[in-house]
């Protein structure tokens, strides 16, 4: 079985030398990923990384680095991004979308 977690802000949880913000969801994803890896599951986590960083294995979890889209690069932009995501269904409804 293979599992992929997309958790861009979880890099500091796996690599303490990389300073950055993280919260409860990142910690939970890391604990869950490590637990699955300990049971023999192929676990990959997509985390934020700039440049051409090669994937590396940390505690049985394969970290794959991806660059965040420009509006999400700084943690202070996240509340604005979440507002846009949260408003998307409402805006679709306002435009007459019938899901």
- In the prediction, which pLDDT does 41 show? 93
- In the prediction, which pLDDT does 69 show? 63
- In the prediction, which pLDDT does 75 show? 52
* Regions of the chain short of the pLDDT cut 50: 76, 87, 90-99
pTM: 0.65
- In the prediction, which pLDDT does 97 show? 44
Q: Transcribe the chain into DSSP letters.
A: -EEEEE-GGGHHHH-TTS-----HHHHHHHHHHHHHHHTT-EEEEEEE--S-PPPEEETTEEEEEEPPPGGGSSGGGHHHHHHHHHHHHHHHHHTT---
Residue range 57-76, pLDDT digits in tens: 999 999 988 876 655 555 54
């Amino acid at each position: 079985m293979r599992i992929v977690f997309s958790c861009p802000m979880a890099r500091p949880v796996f690599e303490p030398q990389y300073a950055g913000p993280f919260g409860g969801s990142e910690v939970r994803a890391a604990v869950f990923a490590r637990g699955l890896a300990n049971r023999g599951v192929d676990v990959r986590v997509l985390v934020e990384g700039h440049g051409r960083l090669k994937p590396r294995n940390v505690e049985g979890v394969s970290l794959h680095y991806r660059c965040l889209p420009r509006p999400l690069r700084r943690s202070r932009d996240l509340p604005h991004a979440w507002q846009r995501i949260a408003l998307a269904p409402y805006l679709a409804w306002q435009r007459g979308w019938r899901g």
